[in-house]
Structure 1
Amino acid sequence: MIDLRSDLCSVPTEEMWEAMRRAELGWATVGEDASVNDLCGRVAELLGKPAAVWAPTCGMANLAALLTFCEPDDFVVLESASHVLTSEAMGITEIGRLQPAPLWAEDGRMDPAEVGELVASCRAILLVLENTHTRAGGTVLSVSQTEELAAAAKAHGCRVHIDGARLVNAAAALEVPLADLAAPANSVVISLNKSLSAPFGAVLAGSDAVVARAREMLHRLGGASFHRAGIAAAAGLVALDTMLDRVADDHRRARALAAGLAEIPGVSLRPEVVETNIVLADVSATGIAPEALVPLLAEAGVRVLERDTTRIRLVTHRLIGDAEVERAVATIGDVVAKHAAPLVVPELDYDWEAELEAYVEDED
């Protein structure tokens, strides 16, 4: 089975499993787990922040950041299709009791002027940026774009949090240090699974004061008292040592995957817009709806995700090599060829030329 649903489908390496078995566990909640302490120190340094705290998931870390900066009924500006709004069970409203102020951007990159206007109009307390932007297809925010967006918010006293679940992908795509992408933000989180292949866990970084407050929020959410966190942290340390340099391979294979899919009749996408490891393919012209195509592909040995009513999502990761890309393209092509239905364009049941001519005569 070739699993392209998400980079979450990757698994730890043997070196990570061995590190987890060897980990000398301590009481992480009171700062006595060496692996957790080392991991937080390493990530803080990579992100250019004074401090960091481990969290079980990136979603929990994002929620902790929201609670760190905001009080109930505060406004939070974020992109309309951001992960915090669409994929984190609306913790922003149901737990944080905050008011989202969404701003639509087709490619996930909000306009700084529009951000500044919205922040000012609703007196937002926090701006959330997502880098890379998942639902937009793994699009990246450059250093300058991040700086401009942060400046637009901070001009009105608004703080900035970066949901950097895939920030390592953005850094690899742009060939810039992680710290440069994180610099304009008051807090930033990175995921240790996804492209890094650790079993689970995330690290939230910021100033000493921000991290101290975030640690308190994580404790309230049940994350800071996660016992035996050193098992996951030990794998996270290996991930930092061994996985960062190979992320670019995922991007190269995603572009190859996109190029192959673009050759399949009825599948529409532009390979040149694939920036990282996420590929969105429009399959509407095949006559097979994504909800029908996904199980057909799974039966044939390729797992993909239904993105919406017209598109499927495919994500490359450590377990997807060049051979898997070739097999996936061939399999998808075969399934589409076998099940495709020609698009039927309904015939007009009236003489539009006659109606147009009559309309022109009436106007005269």
Structure 2
Amino acid sequence: MVPLLAIPAVLALENGRFFPGRIFGATGTSLGEVVFQTGMTGYQETLTDPSYRGQIVVQTATQIGNTGWNDEDGESSAIQVAGYVVRDPSRAVPHWRSVRPLEAELVRQGVVGLAGVDTRSLTRHLREHGVMRAGVFSGDALADPAGMTAAVLNGPAMTGAELASRVSTRRPYVYPAAGPRRFRVAVVDLGLKTGTLRMLAALGVESHVLPDATGADGLLATEPDGVLLSNGPGDPAAMDHVVALTRSVLERRLPLFGICFGNQILGRALGRDTYKMRYSHRGINVPVVDAADGRVAITSHNHGFAVRGEPGERFETPYGPAVVSHHCPNDGTVEGLRCLEVPAFSVQYHPEAAAGPHDASALFSAFVGSLRPGGRR
């Protein structure tokens, strides 16, 4: 093995493995949970997705960066990942929308990254051993290999992590409808992506975006026609306050739509357990089966936790019966829930398709179709 002192940068895993590379982005140290993302496109949306808070993202696509960075496609106001690992950064940025190279943006925002890594080997390692704590190290930290491993082992675990409050809006704001307003929706920001607001706006929805700590009174003060629980990072078991808010929405029979983290929150509000997955779903080509008709959609995913349940399962809740409406045929993971007596449903994937396929975009129309003009409670 090449001595670490001779290597410009390294990814250190909690099980003692080291993956060498070179600096890509800022120099320094960053700790987080290392996960792999299988999307061939959409790295800017990946980097700015708040659901990746606290995670070191490994891109399995061989080359990253050929479309550069622009100021329009971000899913939040900043890069959210804890660190970034790629194999081959593009040497040219020919795309007409690019305003700066990807690495320049990583440096500008202080994101510690690593390039030249054998990402195929790393991904196979994570598939075998599961995602785990890790650290990206460059600069002076390389002088102490044992210290790097110790730092990783002392780093925060994802199980039990409450991260939504770190990415949620600090104060409420309104995202207007594109054209005449048809409905008003309270959006609970648990790590919201801008694409969700754009999809709602296109359907005539005025979104009142609320901090994750908002209580029932604050939510009802917006006089919503419906409620949306957004995507977000961390462990849903650490979000009891949002689960309680969700139960208050269900009790009032307000139409509710949960996306990704919101699916896990709805699951817990309905009395289901959640669990940490071995290596998660992160990519834009994940198949999902609709239990109602057997149709398959190719969908965008970013989640490391899931709701316990079986494909097509019907179960009782305090709000009447509900069903596991969708599942992943690859591993049986619950991908959606639907209540049968209250107007509430959720999916584990990202129907706003930023980035990703548009197979599931009709879910926004289904949610808007459940809203009642002037029917606020």
TM-score (norm 2): 0.25
Q: 1 or 2 for the larger relative contact order (CA 8 Å, sep ≥6)?
A: 1
TM-score (norm 1): 0.26
Instruction: Give 1 or 2: higher helix fraction.
Output: 1
